[in-house]
Amino acid sequence: RRALASARRALATRVDDDGATLPGAAFSILHEDDEIVVVDKGAGLLFVPGRQPHKADCLVARLASTRPELGVAHRLDRDTSGVCVLAKTKAALRTLSKAFQAREVRKTYVGAVSGTPAADGAVDAAIGKVPTPEGFNRVALLDEASGGRPSVTRYEVLDARGDSALIRLTPLTGRAHQLRVGP
Catalytic residues, by residue number, are: 77
Q: How many CA atoms lie within 13 A of 117 on its CB side?
A: 21
Task: Give Cα separations from 43 to 58, 133, 157 (angstroms).
Answer: 11, 28, 22
Interacting residues of 138 by C-beta distance below 8 A, sequence separation 6+ = 129, 130, 132
Q: How far apart are the first and last CA of the chain?
A: 26
Cα(115)–Cα(121) distance, integer angstroms: 15
Residues in the chain: 183
Cα(78)–Cα(58) distance, integer angstroms: 9
Interacting residues of 149 by C-beta distance below 8 A, sequence separation 6+ = 126, 127, 128, 175
Closest to 153 (Cα-Cα) out of 117, 130, 137: 117
